[in-house]
Structure 1
Amino acid sequence: MAARGTQRNSWRVTVDLHIHHQRGHDWVFAAGLVGTGGHVWLERQHAGRTRMLGRITAEGDAIVSQGQYHSMYDGPGHRARACGDAKGGQLRVCTAWH
């Protein structure tokens, strides 16, 4: 599942929600191309509340990933999405909820 933000100043923010199945449950993590100073994070929704989890700041123009060591359980009653933004909070984009 991927989302791409609008382009501004020749830059675009792209995030992906990766889902893997382990021990009968879905686990998710986020990866994104956000540029130096941008951020990638997961948002989790449970019982009507949304929390931001695992915000990572990009130190270069490479892809930023939370990696599987930051994976989050996405089981019954939980929903998750990947989000990202460019430096200064510009061009924020999120995937659809899973």
Structure 2
Amino acid sequence: MQAILSLVLPFALMFALMYFLLILPEKKRTKKYNEMLTALAKNDEIVTRGGIMGKIIIVEDDYVIIETSAERTKIKIAKNGIATKVNKVEQ
């Protein structure tokens, strides 16, 4: 019994450590990202994964259309291509 416990205990501890250091934080990040995607609305400013910044003008189920420049260039992108939402400070 002691030999089996001494073999299994290190693996169980390694799994628990990996769970708390890698798996749990990644689940939290994924949940926060998905909440951000579902909360996107018109006039939100975003940054895409490619680094393009723009303002959302149309929100659909799987994609958004953003306006990216003073010339009002419109780009249609998939929602999962959005990296972050830019928070502007209201003055």
What's the TM-score bracket when you normalise by the shorter of the two chains? under 0.3
TM-score (norm 1): 0.22
| Structure with the larger helix share | 2
Larger relative contact order (C-alpha < 8 A, sep ≥ 6)? 1
When Rg is computed on C-alpha atoms for both structures, the one with the higher figure is: 2
